[in-house]
Structure 1
Amino acid sequence: MAAVSCTLLVDDDDTTNYLNQTLLRRMAISDTVLVAQNGQQALDLLHQHCELPTSPTCPALILLDMKMPRMNGFEFLQAYAQRPERENPSVVIIMLTTSLNPNDVEQMQGLPIAGYLIKPLTRDKVNQVLQEHFGQASPAS
């Protein structure tokens, strides 16, 4: 059984999404991996897959890019926090960024995220998230 029933990748870069999907598939950490190109698509997917928060395709983990067109990671988190509580799954949200800008790091403080990681996503970083937030390592480690 996978460590996480469903993971949602939110990134505007197709190559990054492909590489992250491939990594998660090889690590066998999720039964389902959903992909959104921006925050609005992510909200639409949550609405579609989390009508029942216990649905197996309702994400337990969201890997969220900070900077995207249309709706960035910060705007997604603001919109997510305004959704009715019954529609929000119990989810671990990890912000992904290439930025080491202290202003960006400061802006992440106080957001409803479990943490942030510097891109690129690696096997070690995924295992760190799994151990810290789900109490287990990847089955394919």
Structure 2
Amino acid sequence: MSVISCVLLVDDDDTTNFLNQRLLERLAITDTVLVAGNGQDALDLLHTHCDLPTSPTCPALILLDMKMPRMNGIEFLQAYAQRPRHRDPPVVIIMLTTSLNSDDVVKMQHLPIAGYLTKPLTSEKITQLMQAHFGQGTPTR
């Protein structure tokens, strides 16, 4: 049994996406994982999968890389904020980064995100995220 409807992974690294997708599947937090290689692809996926607010493939959680080519995480958030609010159900956006640079941390604190995590994702980080933002941990199998 899944906990949330859908997760959208947004990262330009195919290996990271593959590993994160496998982790989410193993933890069984969702039945649907969408993957985008940059912010523009993510916006396109949202347009397709969130056409109806009740769509089961409209993400409840977006795990967003900060640094990507074409459209990075910050640019994605700026474009996402321009979307009509009535179309999208509530979504938790978590920024992912490999950087602990203090300038990047300050930038993230001023973004419209629910929080940030350092890579790599782990079972423990996902469990904490699920408890903090969805009121439950990962399901047990």
Asked whether the two chains share a fold, i.e. TM above 0.5, the reply is yes
Q: Distance in 1 between matches of 2:48 and 2:65?
A: 21
Query: Could you say which residue in structure 2 is the equivalent of 1:69?
Result: 69
Q: Distance in 2 between matches of 1:54 and 1:113?
A: 22
Identity of aligned residues (%): 74
Give 1:88 shift.
2.8
Give 1:89 shift.
2.7
Letter in 1 for 2:64: L
Is the 8 Å Cα contact of residues 26 and 140 (structure 1) preserved in structure 2? no
Q: How many residue pairs were aligned?
A: 141
Query: Could you say which residue in structure 1 is the equivalent of 2:131?
Result: 131
Is the 8 Å Cα contact of residues 51 and 87 (structure 1) preserved in structure 2? yes
Describe how 1:114-125 pairs up with structure 2 within 5 A: 114-125=114-125
Q: Distance in 1 between matches of 2:58 and 2:109?
A: 26
Provide the alpha-carbon RMSD of the alignment: 1.0
**Is there any run of 5+ residues in structure 2 with no aligned partner, and where?**
none
Instruction: Give the alignment's TM-score, normalised by structure 1.
Output: 0.97
Query: Could you say which residue in structure 2 is the equivalent of 1:78?
Result: 78
Q: Distance in 2 between matches of 1:49 and 1:27?
A: 23
Query: Could you say which residue in structure 2 is the equivalent of 1:110?
Result: 110
Query: Could you say which residue in structure 1 is the equivalent of 2:11?
Result: 11
* 3-state SS, counterpart of residue 4 of structure 1: coil
Q: Distance in 1 between matches of 2:11 and 2:81?
A: 19
Q: Distance in 2 between matches of 1:139 and 1:12?
A: 28
Is the 8 Å Cα contact of residues 7 and 32 (structure 1) preserved in structure 2? yes
Instruction: Give the alignment's TM-score, normalised by structure 2.
Output: 0.97
1:108-130: per-residue Cα shift (whole Å, max 9, x none)?
12211000000000000000010
Runs of 4+ residues deviating >6 angstroms: none
**Is there any run of 5+ residues in structure 1 with no aligned partner, and where?**
none
Query: Could you say which residue in structure 1 is the equivalent of 2:60?
Result: 60
